Amino acid sequence: MPDTVPADSVGLVSPNTLHIPTPITLESGRSLAHYDLIYETYGVLNSDASNAILICHALSGDHHAAGYHSMKDKKPGWWDGYIGPGKTIDTNYFFVVSMNNIGGCAGSSGPKSIDPETGKPYGPDFPIVTVLDWVTTQAELADHLNIKQWAAVIGGSLGGMQAMQWAISYPERLRNVIIIAAAPKLSAQNIAFNEVARTAIKSDPDFHNGHYDEHNTLPRQGLGLARMLGHITYLSDQAMGEKFGRELRHGSLNYGYDVEFQIESYLRYQSESFVEHFDANTYLLMTKALDYFDPAAKFDDDLAKTVESITAKCLVISFTTDWRFSPERSHEIVNALLIAKKEVSYAEIEANQGHDAFLMPISRYQEIFKAYMNRIASEGKQS
Amino acid sequence: MSLRVDLQIISDWIPDGSHVLDLGCDNGTLLHELQKRNITGYGLEIDNGKIAECIASDVNVIHADLDDGLSGFADQSFDYVILSQTLQAIKRPDFLLDEIIRVGKQAIITFPNFGHWQCRLQLVVAGRMPVSRTLPSPWFATPNIHLCTIKDFERICDDKRISILKRCIVDHDHQNTLGIKISRNLFGQIALYQINKTTDS
């Protein structure tokens, strides 16, 4: 954390918790009797509630998208580069809402919450939730905040899938949708990576079938491996090459099995810091939500038919070196929207950062994103 | 702001309420103008800077490389497909023409006429590749890799059984001069065509 809060930061923020006392039946058929949603807001909701933006987070994200929780924080929220006064999502005009999805581990109901039936944490028994379930609970939050219609729902990666699901399931509740670095469903290769990650977690002896809390352990090794694997898929070969190359930690080869290359050290550091704040059961659940996402499955696998209900204006963005959800995956979404004659714009951004590009400050990406946000703001001001 | 004259002619050819696809839409000027007459559709553009400009002016724009064809678009899904001053910069204009008449019920194509007397003179007399106001780049740096004449274009339409519905040949000032009336291939600088797939009757 800098000594003073930067002028373009939303500053110090604190989350709110909404308790939903009514039960929800999930897509799986299981239900939660009641649940909590933790969320943050930035900016001010205007009198007719027409300036509200929903941010949907990706696999390892949470509700803390911008600003700082304390002056001691080392880093701001996960999308701080894009949310703040004067930034792409300008909090001088917009009221931004960011929620931790259920099944998460940052404060909304999830595997770490107490199961009312047993009085113990759910652990692996927390029901598997889907993208549609998340959208349903996000709509609950919108109701609570008296937001009838979002000016835009925005998300990258798994967040982009939620944004897309919003536009399909609640067409009357959003005017714009921005789908970044996403896909209409996972490929076999995507699912395969997720399965390796899950296997790493489940085969850790400290995992105890998900009941590691009761054993006072953590599947550090397994979750760390899952994170390492994930991290590799978020970066491009080019980005890794530029950042680390074949640089050695100690200048010369040791002919042993300890960390020698900088990239090895980086991955270990990433995994070690991740396991301290992320829950393994949540990781499993999130990867399943990704695997299950396939809105076209209910429409004879016809994506154009699936998006028929959409009335929002759409912006789709992809990145050239993203191989996790490549530009071709975004083309599938765009082509479906074109066939359905929906309002859509699409930009493919030249970027060497791979999938993670959606989080990074890339000038062309910011320019296009900002132009679109300005348009939303000017529409709001006219009406 | 008034439209560039060739864009004005294109606009005049498109009826209100049409659904259009503008290939190489630049900063979206034409589509922005057409939207005022309830004309919907999309622009295709490869330059992200131009894409940002389109978005700023509320034009739906899709990042695309025209050399990749129009495979994402269904047959006859647009009333008009527009290709303005871009045919000569395409790797395979013949393939793109096939795609254009597949996707559009009608198409409007405009291009600089390489058969203009000044082009011919520069090549014949000076022995140099022509450079002009419509074609300002030297041969090694020009994006215009497949220049054609009015005769060439009408020939390829004939070969492909494409019907020419309208034709407008003008000079740089977008005037239809006496010279053009005498010989359009010799005196025309910009050619505008409305075409479609010939239907067997």
Give tens-digit pLDDT for A324-339: 999 999 999 999 999 9
Q: Are A321 and A291 in contact (CB under 8 A)?
A: no
Identify whether B189 is part of a domain.
yes
The DSSP result for A158-175, as a single string, is: HHHHHHHHHHHH-GGGBS
Task: Indicate if the pLDDT at residue A250 is higher than 90.
Answer: no
Looking at CA atoms only, how far is residue A340 from chain B in angstroms? Answer: 10
Task: Name the amino acid, one letter, at A337.
Answer: L
Task: Indicate if the pLDDT at residue A28 is higher than 70.
Answer: yes
Task: Name the amino acid, one letter, at A163.
Answer: A
Token pair listed for A60: 């390892």
Residues B124-138: what's their mean pLDDT?
88
Contact A345 B62 (CB under 8 A): yes
Return the closest-CA partner of residue B22 out of B107, B90, B121, B89. Answer: B107
A279-289 residues labelled b (16+ CB within 10 A) or e (exposed): bbbbbbbbbbb
**Cα–Cα distance, B60 to B43 (Å, whole number):** 6
H/E segment holding residue B99: helix B93-103
Identify whether B89 is part of a domain.
yes
Q: What is the CATH number of the domain that holds B46?
A: 3.40.50.150
Q: Residue B6 — pLDDT band, cuts 50, 70, 90?
A: confident
Strands B40-45, B19-23: pairing is: parallel
Q: Are B156 and B94 in contact (CB under 8 A)?
A: yes
Task: Indicate if the pLDDT at residue A382 is higher than 70.
Answer: no
Number of domains in chain B: 1
Identify whether B76 is part of a domain.
yes
Give tens-digit pLDDT for B56-103: 999 999 999 999 999 989 999 999 999 999 999 999 999 999 999 999
Interface check for A348 against chain B (CB to CB < 8 A): the answer is yes
pLDDT at B135: 81
Interface check for A349 against chain B (CB to CB < 8 A): the answer is yes
Identify whether B23 is part of a domain.
yes
Would you give the distance in Å from CA B169 to the centre of its chain? 13
**Number of residues in chain B:** 201
**Cα–Cα distance, B27 to A303 (Å, whole number):** 30
Strands annotated E in A111-268 = 152-156, 176-180
Task: Indicate if the pLDDT at residue A99 is higher than 90.
Answer: yes
Identify whether B32 is part of a domain.
yes
Chain B residues with beta carbon closer than 8 angstroms to that of A368: 48, 51-52, 55
Task: Indicate if the pLDDT at residue B1 is higher than 60.
Answer: no
Task: Give the orientation angle of helix A220-234 with respect to helix A188-202, to 10 degrees.
Answer: 160
What percent of chain A is modeled with pLDDT above 70? 99
Give tens-digit pLDDT for B13-56: 999 999 999 999 999 999 999 999 999 999 999 999 999 999 99
Q: Residue A1 — pLDDT band, cuts 50, 70, 90?
A: low
> How many CB atoms lie under 10 A from the CB of residue B83?
24
H/E segment holding residue A297: none
**Cα–Cα distance, A2 to A93 (Å, whole number):** 25
Token pair listed for A325: 């959800």
**Cα–Cα distance, B100 to A300 (Å, whole number):** 29
Contact B62 A334 (CB under 8 A): yes
**Cα–Cα distance, A147 to A53 (Å, whole number):** 10
Strands A24-25, B61-63: pairing is: unpaired
Q: How far is CA A287 from CA A9, A10, A195, B200, in A?
A: 31, 31, 8, 55
Identify whether B186 is part of a domain.
yes
**Number of residues in chain A:** 383
Token pair listed for A280: 């393994």
Looking at CA atoms only, how far is residue A334 from chain B in angstroms? Answer: 8
Residue in chain B closest to A373 (alpha carbons) equals: B56
Identify whether B74 is part of a domain.
yes
Q: How far is CA A3 from CA A70, A76, A84, in A?
A: 11, 13, 18
Residues B135-150: what's their mean pLDDT?
91
Q: Are A57 and A100 in contact (CB under 8 A)?
A: yes
Token pair listed for B152: 């060439």
Return the closest-CA partner of residue B4 out of B157, B192, B165. Answer: B192
Return the closest-CA partner of residue B5 out of B29, B37, B39. Answer: B29
Give tens-digit pLDDT for A53-74: 999 999 999 999 999 999 999 8
Return the closest-CA partner of residue A52 out of A5, A9, A99, A6. Answer: A99
Helix/strand/coil for B40: strand
Strands A52-56, A152-156: pairing is: parallel
- The CA-CA-CA angle for residues B95, B99, B100, to 5°, reads 115
**CB-nearest partner of B72 from A338, A364, A368:** A338
Strands annotated E in chain A = 16-20, 24-25, 31-32, 35-42, 52-56, 83-84, 89-90, 95-99, 152-156, 176-180, 313-319, 344-349
In this structure, of A38-42, A317-321, B106-110, B182-186, the range with the lowest mean pLDDT score is B182-186
Residue A136 CB partners (closer than 8 Å, separation 6+) = A24
pLDDT at B162: 96
Q: How far is CA B1 from CA A260, B32, B174, in A?
A: 64, 11, 18
- Side-chain-side CA neighbours of A182 within 13 Å: the count stands at 32
Task: Indicate if the pLDDT at residue B175 is higher than 80.
Answer: no
> How many CB atoms lie under 10 A from the CB of residue A21?
7
Looking at CA atoms only, how far is residue B154 from chain A in angstroms? Answer: 31
**Cα–Cα distance, B31 to A345 (Å, whole number):** 13
Give tens-digit pLDDT for A133-148: 999 999 999 999 999 9
**Cα–Cα distance, A80 to A319 (Å, whole number):** 20
Chain B, residues 32-71, CB within 8 A of chain A, namely 40, 42, 48-49, 51-56, 58, 60-63
Q: What is the mean pLDDT of chain B?
A: 92
Chain A, residues 325-344, CB within 8 A of chain B, namely 331, 334-335, 338-339, 341, 343-344
Can you give the pTM of this predicted structure? 0.95
Token pair listed for A334: 């765009």
Show the domain range for B106: 5-113+145-197
Return the closest-CA partner of residue A23 out of A135, A140, A108. Answer: A140
Q: What is the ipTM of this complex?
A: 0.93
Q: Are A138 and A146 in contact (CB under 8 A)?
A: no
pLDDT at B185: 85
Output the CA torsion B66→B69→B72→B75 (10° steps). 120
pLDDT at B132: 84
Contact B73 A347 (CB under 8 A): no
In eight-state DSSP terms, residue B124 is: I
Task: Name the amino acid, one letter, at A364.
Answer: R
Interface check for A30 against chain B (CB to CB < 8 A): the answer is no
Give tens-digit pLDDT for A83-95: 999 999 999 999 9
Identify whether B16 is part of a domain.
yes
Q: Are B145 and B91 in contact (CB under 8 A)?
A: yes
